[in-house]
Amino acid sequence: MRAKSAKESFVKCQLFMDTVISIKIVSSRTKAEMEESMARAFAAFYHVESVCSRFNNQSEISHLSTQLNTPVHASSTLFEAVRFAWEVADFTEGAFDPTIGNTLELYGFNCDYLTGHKSVPTPFDAKSPVSYLDIELNKEEQTILLRKPLTLDLGAIAKGLAVDLAVKELSQFEGFFVDAGGDIFAGGLNEYEEPWSIGIQHPSKKEEIIRSLQLTNMAVCTSGSYERLSPIRKDAHHLINPHSRIPQSDSLSCTVIAPFAMMADAFSTAAFILGAEKGIQQLELAGLDGILITPTLEMFMTKEMRRYLV
Amino acid sequence: MAKMDHKMVALCAAAIGIIYSAGYIVTAPAALALNSPPAIVSTQKASNASAAPADTSTSVSSAPSSVTAQGQYRDGTYNGQGSNRIGTVEVAVTVKQGKIISCQVTNSSTHYSVSAIDPVLPNEVVARQSGNVDVVSGATRSTEDFQTAVQQALDQAQS
């Protein structure tokens, strides 16, 4: 057991992006200061969700998805998010692909989690598959053009993006973490003045952790097939291979450590889709560390991963 | 391949930097003083915000709070409670200009932690058989455990 906490800390939870966002601040500063920064940090989630959610037909991304062959001017948030998603798609040769939205809709991932309202499915020609190459970005004009009818899904980076923005609001404190339902950034030191210790959830025993990590000023994100199941197709989950359009079953979970949560978020999804061998290769290529767990609970990790293991 | 790592990290850093410095409207402070004007995060003006269709808001239809279109939520903060397989949860849902702007977890006997001043560790950590970890990374947990509570709060917002 640890000794009694040396420093005060403050924790709050709110629901955004269909998950529970917890923020913890460790600081000797006043509670009012912590509350103010925390409110700004939560506002980052509200902002990113209102721009990037395909479940809300009022969102900027939903509007974009209705425009075909027209350059649409995008806010900085949407433009940069789509641009980063495009780059990751290109880097991973489409293992990660932000045009996966239609496929996700077909699997029944189309409900607003707060209101239960279903998003209107976009017209989609199943015979003509889409990919990130159907997105045209114009950096000078800050416009996005969709060459085919498609539904953009930024679900694999939006949480990470919001975490990274929240971090900017919190980095003034001695220690903090932002936990977006398992996608985490841990900054500074914890209340015991140690680096943060982060458990990796056991993919088949919900109440246990399978490994612990110790780190500071890094993001840790896990993609796993054990939490979000298709409401209409038995045994199907949300981590779908963009090429075959069927859920990937060679991995149970993939945890990635990166300097930014948006990177960890994107690459945990990509490596999960690629499976153990190629996934780990891809992480090394991107200069990241991670652990991939297979259905037999075999673990594959990058060469440098051990330095984080406790 | 060392150049490639730099490329992805640099791209990510640039994207976050641009978005942050473009600024965004804060309408959801946790304390939620409902009448306070929106503040702008960061030093620059949120010049792009008006370009977002999301911001062309629904304020017209929600002006007099007694009259609401079907499916429209009245402004205010509503509490909801629900039970699930693990225990009881309470949420406070805040609606502003007809839109849900925040949903705070005010009480939870599940493994989700709630607002608290230490020395109480988040219950989550205690519940896991793992002992000394601060936080757990896993596949994104859904808000299923909170659905009844949120629905109860939204029912009040509609009635």
Across the range A75-101, mean pLDDT stands at 92
pLDDT number for residue A197: 93
What are B33-48's pLDDT values in tens digits?
333 334 333 333 333 3
Asked if residues B31 and B77 have their Cβ atoms less than 8 Å apart, the reply is: no
Nearest Cβ partner of B133 from A164, A197, A285?
A197
pLDDT number for residue A206: 75
Asked if residues A228 and B142 have their Cβ atoms less than 8 Å apart, the reply is: yes
Which tops the pLDDT comparison, B103 or B116?
Answer: B103
- For A195-310, CATH gives 3.10.520.10
Band the pLDDT of B131: cuts 50, 70, 90. low
What are A237-281's pLDDT values in tens digits?
677 677 776 767 788 999 999 999 999 999 999 999 999 999 999
- For A61-146, CATH gives 1.10.3980.10
pTM score over 0.90? no
Kindly determine whether residue A177 and residue B134, on different chains, have CB atoms separated by under 8 Å: yes
Q: Where are the domains of chain A?
A: 1-54+156-181, 61-146, 195-310
The lowest-confidence range among A113-122, A167-176, B6-15, B95-104 is A113-122
Whether B31 shows a pLDDT value over 50: the answer reads: no
Per-window interface: B 30-69 vs A, CB < 8 A: 30-31, 41, 48-49, 51-54, 58
Across the range A16-37, mean pLDDT stands at 90
Whole-number average pLDDT of chain A: 87
Across the range A170-197, mean pLDDT stands at 94
What is the phi/psi pair of residue A67, to 5°? -100, 120
Whether A90 shows a pLDDT value over 90: the answer reads: yes
Across the range A191-199, mean pLDDT stands at 92
Across the range A195-209, mean pLDDT stands at 88
ipTM associated with this complex:
0.88
Question: Which stretches does DSSP call E strand in chain A?
Answer: 9-16, 19-26, 72-73, 135-138, 143-146, 175-180, 183-188, 196-201, 209-215, 218-224, 253-258, 289-293, 299-301
Short-list B34, B44, B144, CA closest to B89:
B144
pLDDT number for residue B97: 84
Report residue B14 as tokens.
């640039």
Which residues on chain A are in Cβ contact (under 8 Å) with B2?
287
User: Distance from B142 to chain A by nearest Cα, in Å?
Assistant: 5
On whether any CB of chain A is under 8 Å from the CB of B127, the answer is: yes
Which long-range contacts link A200-207 to residues 24+ away (Cβ below 8 Å)? A200/A253, A200/A255, A200/A291, A200/B136, A200/B137, A200/B138, A201/A253, A201/B136, A201/B137, A201/B138, A201/B139, A203/A252, A203/A253, A203/A293, A203/A297, A203/B139, A204/A252, A204/A297, A207/B111, A207/B127, A207/B128, A207/B129
What are A185-194's pLDDT values in tens digits?
999 999 889 9
pLDDT number for residue A149: 86
Within this chain, domains A61-146 and A195-310 share the same CATH topology:
no
The lowest-confidence range among A70-84, A88-102, B22-36 is B22-36
> Which amino acid would we find at residue A45?
F
Band the pLDDT of B32: cuts 50, 70, 90. very low
Report residue B149 as tokens.
């509570």
Across the range B7-13, mean pLDDT stands at 92
Kindly determine whether residue A253 and residue B138, on different chains, have CB atoms separated by under 8 Å: yes
Measured distance CA(B3)–CA(A143) in Å, rounded: 28
Whether A24 shows a pLDDT value over 90: the answer reads: yes
Kindly determine whether residue B143 and residue A222, on different chains, have CB atoms separated by under 8 Å: no
Kindly determine whether residue A43 and residue B27, on different chains, have CB atoms separated by under 8 Å: yes
The most distant pair of C-alpha atoms in chain B lies apart, rounded to whole Å, by 63
